[in-house]
Structure 1
């Protein structure tokens, strides 16, 4: 496992970390025992950063992480998110009273006194411009509710706006071989401001595993079934906003680039780590085998210039027109 510094936090975190959305819900059926085995295996293999949110299973994901802390003595960092519990989800809801309530609820779920990293959870775009919101978070740091804070964003423009505020320590953004815009327009600015980058949706909701086909079906409570067109939340969260059939075609173009002994998922994760400004990728895992496959990507050899060029070519020819201008 390799480790990189998460921006202003100073945390040294594993380049392949653990995304805990899937163990909370909206990814089809999960079993808590499988989820716990996956979390334990992640720690065994050197993962020391787990990303969750208060809405993942209405706090269920956070509570599983609390259980992990009870069962293990290992030290690891937990990032959670706040804001999406608002109904309606409006900019006005990002006020001191609501944010305190969300954070205190997460602390109870996590059985913790302080949140290692609190992230605003893809709020309305205008929230990123509101100085008072960052001021509230600064106060919470001084109180000891938070050690650090960052943002989770949908768009590059939101990311650029957020990091104008000096105490934003990290940005979580969708970045993968089907969503390349952050590398072109955001990474240099983040580096200049010492902001960590957490690459979320690194496998494009499973498309970049190479395991999905035109005949694959998804359970009713799986967002890949009910959110393909943004019916429930931002369309970019599902398959990175890429049309499913187009994504399958792009995967076929990528398969020949994968070295013997590696999987397409590992190749896709190693591609992300080729960008030194990325602190970590946070693929999900619902069982130990998925964790092992994900973590192995960190130890793959660097991709060649030709491999990187051909991934870019696939993006330019099949994907760019669908996603680049939107996020």
Structure 2
């Protein structure tokens, strides 16, 4: 597994991490036993970076991770990033030091730690991203020992650039995948210059980039890929990366065809692994955080972190698909 430095945290983490939204909620039911198997499979495959949030299953994801790490022992070597800020309405006045203390206290209890490795503001409004008081409050949490480092999870490139300009922001988490390329324009160069780590979330465009979906594919009632396609529950960019499902199927078919031409492809290499490997190999990306609902899926995702360089031809093909099918609808929005 290739490793990268996680921005200003100065921690080294696996290029392929594990996103744990699936272990909490909004992707259909995953039992606690299965969640533990996913975490174990990922860690055994070399994954050393778990991403979670205090609202994933109302803390369930954090609790499952905390229990797993206690079983592994103090030398588990895994960095855990959690997120806060969506337990109340996303109003600027709610992003206060008092609430930050309460939210981080809850996460520390859920995870069973005194100090959180990395806390990210969870897709806050732009007024929060640009607030001096918010960063002062986060600095206070570091000084008090509640958190070791902080970053932001953002929706737009403009928000990312505003946060990167802040001196103590260690990481930026942003949607980045073969169907969402705008962060390549300015965000990644700015992050590299500022030594800010980039955590690429939604790396498979909610599964579109697995190449397994068809027009007949259905999703559970409590799966956001069913209920949030219109953005009525949260930013539509979080579901299929904002790509219309029908257009996404066409783009996915072209990506699957491209995958067969990549350098170093073996008969058992999957389309999803190539999508993850392409991301992990981008200059400036610290960690890619695909989710997994089974141990086999976690192991397959982790294998993408040790693939050889995919080559310029593959990269050009990714950009051609984006430019011809997706850019006009996606690029101006995020």
**TM-score w.r.t. structure 1 length?**
0.98
Aligned to 1:103: 104
The Cα shift of 1:163 comes to 1.3
Other-structure match for 1:138: 139
What does 1:77-88 align with in structure 2 at a 5 Å threshold?
77-86=79-88, 88=89
Q: CA deviation at 1:45?
A: 1.1
Deviation, structure 1 residue 75: 2.0
Task: Determine which of 266, 281, 292 is the counterpart of 2:299.
Answer: 292
Match of 2:179 in 1: 178
Deviation (angstroms), 1:274: 2.4
Structure 1: runs of 5+ lacking an equivalent: none
CA RMSD of superposed structures (Å): 0.8
CA distance in 2, matches of 1:254, 1:239: 15
Q: Distance in 2 between matches of 1:256 and 1:323?
A: 22
Q: For residues 302 and 79 of structure 2, what CA distance do their matches in structure 1 show?
A: 17
- Deviation of 1:170 after TM superposition, in Å, equals 0.2
CA distance in 2, matches of 1:310, 1:163: 29
Q: 2:78 aligns with which of 62, 76, 79?
A: 76
What is residue 317 of structure 1 aligned with on the other side?
324
SS in 2 for 1:22: helix
Shift of residue 321, structure 1, vs aligned partner: 1.0
> Residue 171 of structure 1 aligns to a residue in which SS?
strand
Determine the structure 2 residue equivalent to 1:280: 287
What's 2:151 paired with?
A: 150
Q: Deviations over 1:63-109 (max 9, x none)?
A: 000110121122211100000001x2211110111111111111111
CA contact (8 A) 2:45 2:303 kept: no
**Match of 2:269?**
262
Of 58-67 and 70-79, more deviation after overlay is shown by 70-79
Please list, as runs of the form range in 1=range in 2, the aligned pairs for 1:1-327 lying within 5 A after superposition: 1-73=1-73, 74-86=76-88, 88-258=89-259, 259=265, 260-327=267-334
Distance 2:69 2:282 in 1: 31
Per-residue Cα deviation, 1:164-218 (whole angstroms, up to 9, x for no partner): 1100000000000000000112111111111000000000001011111111111
After TM superposition, the runs of 4+ consecutive aligned structure 1 residues lying more than 3 A away are: none
Which whole-Å CA distance do the structure 2 matches of 1:285 and 1:32 have between them? 13
Secondary structure, in 3 states, of the residue corresponding to 2:57?
coil
Structure 2 residue runs of 5 or longer lacking an equivalent are 260-264
* Whole-angstrom CA distance in 2 between matches of 1:53 and 1:10: 22
Q: Distance in 1 between matches of 2:322 and 2:116?
A: 37
- Would the aligned equivalents of 2:209 and 2:255 in 1 still touch at CA under 8 Å? no
Give CA-to-partner distance per residue, 1:248-283, whole Å, 9 cap, x none.
Answer: 000111112223331110010011022120001000
Cα drift, residue 301 of structure 1: 1.6
- Provide the rounded CA distance (Å) in 2 between the counterparts of 1:46 and 1:307: 26
Q: Aligned to 1:57, what secondary structure does the other structure show?
A: helix
3-state SS of paired residue (2:23)? coil
TM-score of the aligned structures, taking structure 2 as reference length:
0.96
TM-superposition CA deviations, 1:280-302 (whole Å, max 9, x none): 10000121100111011112221
User: Contact 2:96–2:134 (CA<8 Å) still a contact in 1?
Assistant: yes
Q: Distance in 2 between matches of 1:163 and 1:311?
A: 26
How many angstroms apart in 2 are the aligned matches of 1:151 and 1:52?
13
